[in-house]
Amino acid sequence: MPVSKIITSVSELDFNLAEIPTMHLPKNALMVTPEHFTVEYVINPHMQGHVGNVDKAKAIEEWVEVRTAFMEAGIQVYDIQGQPGLPDMVFCANQSLPFVTVNGKKHVFMSIMNADQRKDEVGFIEQWYRSNDYTIHHFDKDAISDFEGMGDAIWHTGKRMIWGGYGFRSSLEAYRRVSETFDVPVIALELKNPSFYHLDTCFCMLNSKTALIYPEAFTSEGLKLIEELIPEIITASTHEAEELFACNATCPDGKHVIIQAGCTEVNAKLEEAGFTVVEVSTNEYRKSGGSVFCMKMMVF
Protein backbone atom coordinates (compact mmCIF):
# COMPACT_ATOMS: atom_id res chain seq x y z
CA MET A 1 0.00 0.00 0.00
CA PRO A 2 1.48 3.39 -0.96
CA VAL A 3 2.69 5.36 2.01
CA SER A 4 4.19 8.75 2.54
CA LYS A 5 6.47 9.84 -0.27
CA ILE A 6 6.95 12.65 -2.74
CA ILE A 7 6.79 11.68 -6.40
CA THR A 8 8.23 14.15 -8.90
CA SER A 9 8.66 11.87 -11.92
CA VAL A 10 7.04 8.85 -13.49
CA SER A 11 10.15 6.77 -12.82
CA GLU A 12 9.48 7.10 -9.06
CA LEU A 13 5.94 5.75 -9.36
CA ASP A 14 5.75 2.31 -7.78
CA PHE A 15 1.98 2.08 -7.35
CA ASN A 16 -1.15 2.65 -9.38
CA LEU A 17 -4.33 4.48 -8.55
CA ALA A 18 -6.31 1.35 -7.71
CA GLU A 19 -3.92 0.64 -4.81
CA ILE A 20 -4.57 3.99 -3.12
CA PRO A 21 -7.10 3.68 -0.27
CA THR A 22 -10.33 5.58 -0.58
CA MET A 23 -11.31 8.70 1.39
CA HIS A 24 -14.88 9.91 1.61
CA LEU A 25 -15.78 13.17 -0.08
CA PRO A 26 -16.26 16.18 2.21
CA LYS A 27 -19.91 17.28 2.39
CA ASN A 28 -19.35 20.74 3.89
CA ALA A 29 -17.71 23.94 2.71
CA LEU A 30 -16.35 27.04 4.42
CA MET A 31 -16.79 30.39 2.77
CA VAL A 32 -15.48 33.76 3.98
CA THR A 33 -17.98 36.60 3.72
CA PRO A 34 -17.03 39.09 0.98
CA GLU A 35 -17.67 42.55 2.48
CA HIS A 36 -13.92 43.31 2.69
CA PHE A 37 -12.98 41.77 -0.67
CA THR A 38 -11.22 44.15 -3.06
CA VAL A 39 -8.02 44.32 -5.12
CA GLU A 40 -5.60 46.35 -3.05
CA TYR A 41 -2.15 45.06 -4.13
CA VAL A 42 -0.69 42.95 -6.94
CA ILE A 43 0.64 39.50 -6.06
CA ASN A 44 -0.28 37.66 -9.26
CA PRO A 45 -0.46 38.79 -12.91
CA HIS A 46 -4.29 38.80 -12.98
CA MET A 47 -4.44 41.57 -10.35
CA GLN A 48 -2.41 43.92 -12.55
CA GLY A 49 -4.52 46.92 -13.54
CA HIS A 50 -7.35 46.04 -11.15
CA VAL A 51 -6.30 47.82 -7.96
CA GLY A 52 -9.35 49.71 -6.71
CA ASN A 53 -11.39 48.34 -9.60
CA VAL A 54 -13.73 45.87 -7.86
CA ASP A 55 -17.46 46.50 -7.96
CA LYS A 56 -18.29 45.70 -4.33
CA ALA A 57 -22.01 45.23 -4.83
CA LYS A 58 -21.44 42.86 -7.76
CA ALA A 59 -18.83 40.96 -5.75
CA ILE A 60 -21.36 40.34 -2.99
CA GLU A 61 -23.99 39.21 -5.51
CA GLU A 62 -21.54 36.81 -7.16
CA TRP A 63 -20.48 35.40 -3.80
CA VAL A 64 -24.11 34.64 -2.97
CA GLU A 65 -24.53 33.00 -6.39
CA VAL A 66 -21.51 30.73 -5.81
CA ARG A 67 -22.70 29.89 -2.28
CA THR A 68 -26.16 29.02 -3.60
CA ALA A 69 -24.67 26.76 -6.30
CA PHE A 70 -22.79 24.80 -3.63
CA MET A 71 -25.92 24.42 -1.52
CA GLU A 72 -27.92 23.26 -4.54
CA ALA A 73 -25.24 20.63 -5.19
CA GLY A 74 -25.95 19.29 -1.68
CA ILE A 75 -23.08 20.97 0.16
CA GLN A 76 -23.63 22.51 3.59
CA VAL A 77 -21.91 25.92 3.66
CA TYR A 78 -20.50 27.51 6.85
CA ASP A 79 -19.65 31.21 6.75
CA ILE A 80 -16.59 32.73 8.39
CA GLN A 81 -16.61 36.48 8.89
CA GLY A 82 -14.30 38.36 6.48
CA GLN A 83 -11.89 40.78 8.17
CA PRO A 84 -11.05 44.42 7.38
CA GLY A 85 -7.57 44.82 5.87
CA LEU A 86 -7.52 41.22 4.54
CA PRO A 87 -9.07 41.60 1.07
CA ASP A 88 -7.96 38.15 -0.15
CA MET A 89 -9.28 36.24 2.87
CA VAL A 90 -12.38 35.42 0.81
CA PHE A 91 -10.18 32.97 -1.16
CA CYS A 92 -10.43 30.41 1.59
CA ALA A 93 -9.01 27.49 -0.39
CA ASN A 94 -5.62 28.89 0.52
CA GLN A 95 -5.18 29.08 4.30
CA SER A 96 -5.43 25.38 5.16
CA LEU A 97 -5.44 21.74 4.06
CA PRO A 98 -7.94 19.49 5.90
CA PHE A 99 -7.79 15.69 6.11
CA VAL A 100 -9.78 12.87 7.70
CA THR A 101 -8.23 9.59 8.91
CA VAL A 102 -9.67 6.13 8.23
CA ASN A 103 -11.13 6.29 11.75
CA GLY A 104 -12.85 9.60 11.09
CA LYS A 105 -10.39 11.79 13.02
CA LYS A 106 -10.15 15.26 11.52
CA HIS A 107 -6.79 16.97 10.96
CA VAL A 108 -5.71 20.18 9.29
CA PHE A 109 -2.44 21.79 8.23
CA MET A 110 -2.47 25.57 8.52
CA SER A 111 -0.75 27.43 5.67
CA ILE A 112 2.21 29.79 5.65
CA MET A 113 1.07 32.34 3.09
CA ASN A 114 3.68 33.35 0.56
CA ALA A 115 2.70 37.05 0.44
CA ASP A 116 3.08 39.18 3.59
CA GLN A 117 -0.27 40.83 2.80
CA ARG A 118 -2.07 37.49 3.33
CA LYS A 119 -0.26 36.04 6.37
CA ASP A 120 -2.77 37.27 8.96
CA GLU A 121 -5.68 35.47 7.28
CA VAL A 122 -4.54 32.09 8.60
CA GLY A 123 -5.31 32.70 12.29
CA PHE A 124 -8.94 33.58 11.58
CA ILE A 125 -9.48 30.38 9.61
CA GLU A 126 -7.71 28.38 12.30
CA GLN A 127 -10.32 29.49 14.84
CA TRP A 128 -13.03 27.63 12.88
CA TYR A 129 -11.03 24.39 12.95
CA ARG A 130 -10.39 24.85 16.70
CA SER A 131 -14.10 24.97 17.38
CA ASN A 132 -14.83 22.02 15.09
CA ASP A 133 -12.87 19.13 16.47
CA TYR A 134 -9.79 19.26 14.26
CA THR A 135 -6.23 18.41 15.30
CA ILE A 136 -4.21 21.36 14.07
CA HIS A 137 -0.75 21.05 12.49
CA HIS A 138 1.65 23.91 11.88
CA PHE A 139 4.78 23.92 9.78
CA ASP A 140 8.10 24.76 11.35
CA LYS A 141 8.50 28.29 10.01
CA ASP A 142 12.32 27.99 10.10
CA ALA A 143 12.25 24.99 7.76
CA ILE A 144 9.32 25.73 5.46
CA SER A 145 8.99 29.05 3.64
CA ASP A 146 5.49 28.76 2.20
CA PHE A 147 2.47 26.53 1.62
CA GLU A 148 -0.89 27.82 0.42
CA GLY A 149 -3.25 25.00 1.38
CA MET A 150 -5.71 23.72 -1.19
CA GLY A 151 -4.67 26.41 -3.66
CA ASP A 152 -1.78 24.03 -4.37
CA ALA A 153 -2.51 20.79 -2.48
CA ILE A 154 -5.47 19.06 -4.08
CA TRP A 155 -6.92 15.76 -2.90
CA HIS A 156 -7.38 13.22 -5.66
CA THR A 157 -11.18 12.82 -5.61
CA GLY A 158 -12.10 10.00 -3.22
CA LYS A 159 -8.50 8.90 -2.64
CA ARG A 160 -5.81 9.29 0.04
CA MET A 161 -3.43 10.96 -2.35
CA ILE A 162 -2.51 14.61 -2.92
CA TRP A 163 -1.59 16.45 -6.11
CA GLY A 164 0.82 19.16 -4.97
CA GLY A 165 1.71 22.22 -7.05
CA TYR A 166 4.96 24.00 -6.19
CA GLY A 167 7.15 26.79 -7.45
CA PHE A 168 5.20 29.99 -6.85
CA ARG A 169 3.25 29.83 -3.57
CA SER A 170 4.18 26.48 -2.02
CA SER A 171 7.56 24.81 -1.63
CA LEU A 172 8.37 21.18 -2.25
CA GLU A 173 9.68 20.84 1.31
CA ALA A 174 6.21 21.55 2.70
CA TYR A 175 4.86 18.44 0.96
CA ARG A 176 7.39 16.23 2.75
CA ARG A 177 5.86 17.28 6.06
CA VAL A 178 2.28 16.91 4.78
CA SER A 179 3.03 13.49 3.29
CA GLU A 180 4.64 12.20 6.51
CA THR A 181 2.01 13.61 8.83
CA PHE A 182 -1.02 12.40 6.85
CA ASP A 183 0.78 9.25 5.61
CA VAL A 184 -0.24 9.82 2.00
CA PRO A 185 1.73 10.08 -1.24
CA VAL A 186 2.06 13.49 -2.85
CA ILE A 187 2.40 13.76 -6.61
CA ALA A 188 4.37 17.00 -6.91
CA LEU A 189 3.88 19.13 -10.01
CA GLU A 190 6.16 22.05 -10.71
CA LEU A 191 4.33 25.16 -11.94
CA LYS A 192 6.06 27.21 -14.61
CA ASN A 193 3.71 29.95 -15.78
CA PRO A 194 3.04 32.88 -13.38
CA SER A 195 -0.54 33.21 -14.67
CA PHE A 196 -1.12 29.70 -13.29
CA TYR A 197 0.52 30.35 -9.93
CA HIS A 198 -1.61 27.90 -7.92
CA LEU A 199 -2.30 24.31 -8.94
CA ASP A 200 -6.04 25.05 -8.69
CA THR A 201 -5.74 27.48 -11.62
CA CYS A 202 -4.70 24.71 -14.04
CA PHE A 203 -5.81 21.38 -12.50
CA CYS A 204 -9.31 20.40 -11.38
CA MET A 205 -10.25 16.93 -10.12
CA LEU A 206 -13.76 16.08 -11.33
CA ASN A 207 -14.17 12.50 -10.12
CA SER A 208 -11.79 9.70 -9.17
CA LYS A 209 -10.80 9.07 -12.78
CA THR A 210 -11.25 12.44 -14.50
CA ALA A 211 -9.47 15.79 -14.32
CA LEU A 212 -9.80 19.07 -16.20
CA ILE A 213 -6.39 20.61 -16.87
CA TYR A 214 -4.54 23.32 -18.78
CA PRO A 215 -1.59 21.28 -20.12
CA GLU A 216 0.69 24.25 -20.91
CA ALA A 217 0.97 25.16 -17.22
CA PHE A 218 2.98 22.02 -16.48
CA THR A 219 6.48 20.71 -17.15
CA SER A 220 6.68 17.66 -19.41
CA GLU A 221 7.46 15.50 -16.38
CA GLY A 222 4.39 16.84 -14.55
CA LEU A 223 2.20 16.20 -17.54
CA LYS A 224 3.48 12.62 -17.77
CA LEU A 225 2.53 12.04 -14.12
CA ILE A 226 -0.97 13.36 -14.73
CA GLU A 227 -1.40 11.20 -17.82
CA GLU A 228 -0.04 8.14 -16.03
CA LEU A 229 -2.38 8.35 -13.03
CA ILE A 230 -5.57 9.91 -14.38
CA PRO A 231 -7.34 7.88 -17.08
CA GLU A 232 -9.68 10.61 -18.40
CA ILE A 233 -8.27 14.07 -19.05
CA ILE A 234 -10.28 17.03 -20.31
CA THR A 235 -8.25 20.01 -21.48
CA ALA A 236 -9.01 23.73 -21.50
CA SER A 237 -7.89 26.22 -24.17
CA THR A 238 -5.62 29.15 -23.27
CA HIS A 239 -8.53 31.60 -23.39
CA GLU A 240 -10.85 29.56 -21.19
CA ALA A 241 -8.08 28.62 -18.75
CA GLU A 242 -6.31 31.97 -18.47
CA GLU A 243 -9.13 34.49 -18.89
CA LEU A 244 -12.13 32.51 -17.63
CA PHE A 245 -10.41 30.31 -15.01
CA ALA A 246 -12.12 27.19 -16.39
CA CYS A 247 -9.79 24.92 -14.38
CA ASN A 248 -10.72 26.72 -11.16
CA ALA A 249 -14.08 24.97 -11.33
CA THR A 250 -15.25 22.67 -8.53
CA CYS A 251 -16.94 19.31 -8.72
CA PRO A 252 -17.89 18.61 -5.10
CA ASP A 253 -19.88 15.42 -5.72
CA GLY A 254 -18.23 13.95 -8.82
CA LYS A 255 -21.22 15.03 -10.92
CA HIS A 256 -21.99 18.77 -10.80
CA VAL A 257 -19.26 21.05 -12.09
CA ILE A 258 -19.62 24.61 -10.81
CA ILE A 259 -17.69 26.81 -13.22
CA GLN A 260 -17.29 30.41 -14.37
CA ALA A 261 -19.93 31.18 -17.03
CA GLY A 262 -18.89 31.18 -20.68
CA CYS A 263 -16.40 28.30 -20.82
CA THR A 264 -18.14 27.04 -23.96
CA GLU A 265 -15.57 24.53 -25.17
CA VAL A 266 -14.87 23.05 -21.75
CA ASN A 267 -18.57 22.87 -20.96
CA ALA A 268 -19.28 20.89 -24.13
CA LYS A 269 -16.53 18.42 -23.18
CA LEU A 270 -17.85 18.16 -19.62
CA GLU A 271 -21.37 17.42 -20.81
CA GLU A 272 -20.08 14.92 -23.32
CA ALA A 273 -18.34 13.14 -20.42
CA GLY A 274 -21.62 13.03 -18.46
CA PHE A 275 -21.12 15.94 -16.02
CA THR A 276 -23.81 18.50 -15.21
CA VAL A 277 -22.47 22.03 -15.77
CA VAL A 278 -23.55 24.76 -13.34
CA GLU A 279 -22.46 28.20 -14.56
CA VAL A 280 -21.88 31.06 -12.12
CA SER A 281 -20.30 34.45 -12.55
CA THR A 282 -17.07 35.26 -10.68
CA ASN A 283 -16.07 38.30 -12.73
CA GLU A 284 -15.05 40.44 -9.74
CA TYR A 285 -12.98 37.63 -8.18
CA ARG A 286 -11.17 36.90 -11.45
CA LYS A 287 -9.75 40.43 -11.20
CA SER A 288 -7.91 39.13 -8.15
CA GLY A 289 -6.80 35.90 -9.82
CA GLY A 290 -9.42 33.55 -8.42
CA SER A 291 -12.73 31.89 -9.23
CA VAL A 292 -15.03 29.15 -7.91
CA PHE A 293 -12.54 26.65 -6.50
CA CYS A 294 -10.65 29.14 -4.37
CA MET A 295 -13.78 30.79 -2.94
CA LYS A 296 -14.45 27.85 -0.63
CA MET A 297 -12.76 25.20 1.46
CA MET A 298 -14.26 21.72 1.47
CA VAL A 299 -14.21 20.41 5.04
CA PHE A 300 -15.05 17.13 6.73
Restricted to residues 220-279, the positions that interact with ligand ARG (CB under 6 A) are none
Task: Return the range that interacts with ligand ARG (CB under 6 A); candidates 57-65, 180-188, 256-264, 286-294.
Answer: 286-294
Strand-pairing partners, residue 250, are 258
Q: Which is nearer to ligand ARG, 20 or 97 (CB)?
A: 97
Task: Return the range that interacts with ligand ARG (CB under 6 A); candidates 120-128, 130-138, 217-225, 288-296.
Answer: 288-296
Task: Return the range that interacts with ligand ARG (CB under 6 A); candidates 101-109, 174-182, 202-210, 282-290.
Answer: 282-290
**What would the DSSP string read from start to end of the chain?**
---SEEE-SGGG----GGGSPB-PPP-EEEEE--TT----S-SSGGGTT-TT---HHHHHHHHHHHHHHHHHTT-EEEEE---TT-TTTT-TTSSEEEEE-TT--EEEEEPB-SSGGGTTHHHHHHHHHHTTTEEEE---TTT---B-GGGTEEEPTTBS-EEEEESSSS-HHHHHHHHHHHT-EEEEEEB--GGG-SGGGTEEEEETTEEEE-GGGB-HHHHHHHHHH-SEEEE--HIIIIIT-GGG-B-TTSSEEEEETT-HHHHHHHHHTTPEEEEE--HHHHTTT--TGGG-EEE-
Tell me, yes or no, if 46 is annotated catalytic.
no
94 is a contact residue toward ligand ARG (CB under 6 A)? yes
Q: Which is nearer to ligand ARG, 171 or 288 (CB)?
A: 288
Q: Which is nearer to ligand ARG, 47 or 230 (CB)?
A: 47
Task: Return the range that interacts with ligand ARG (CB under 6 A); candidates 43-51, 54-62, 67-75, 228-236.
Answer: 43-51
CB of 151 to ligand ARG, least distance (A): 3
Q: Which is nearer to ligand ARG, 180 or 190 (CB)?
A: 190
44 is a contact residue toward ligand ARG (CB under 6 A)? yes
Strand order in the sheet with 96-100: 96-100, 106-110, 134-137
CB of 192 to ligand ARG, least distance (A): 16
Burial code (b: 16+ CB inside 10 Å, e: under 16) for 9-34 equals eeeebeeeeeebeebebbebbbbbbb
Q: Which is nearer to ligand ARG, 20 or 199 (CB)?
A: 199
Q: Going by DSSP bridges, is the β-strand pair 28-32/203-207 parallel, antiparallel, or unpaired?
A: unpaired
Tell me, yes or no, if 198 is annotated catalytic.
yes
165 is a contact residue toward ligand ARG (CB under 6 A)? no
Of the candidates 92, 198, 247, 263, the residue annotated as catalytic is: 198
Q: Which is nearer to ligand ARG, 13 or 60 (CB)?
A: 60
Restricted to residues 139-158, the positions that interact with ligand ARG (CB under 6 A) are 151
Restricted to residues 62-91, the positions that interact with ligand ARG (CB under 6 A) are 88, 91
Restricted to residues 96-125, the positions that interact with ligand ARG (CB under 6 A) are 118
Residues in contact with ligand ARG by CB under 6 A are 43-44, 47, 88, 91, 93-94, 118, 151, 198, 200-201, 288-290, 294
Catalytic residue ranges:
198, 294
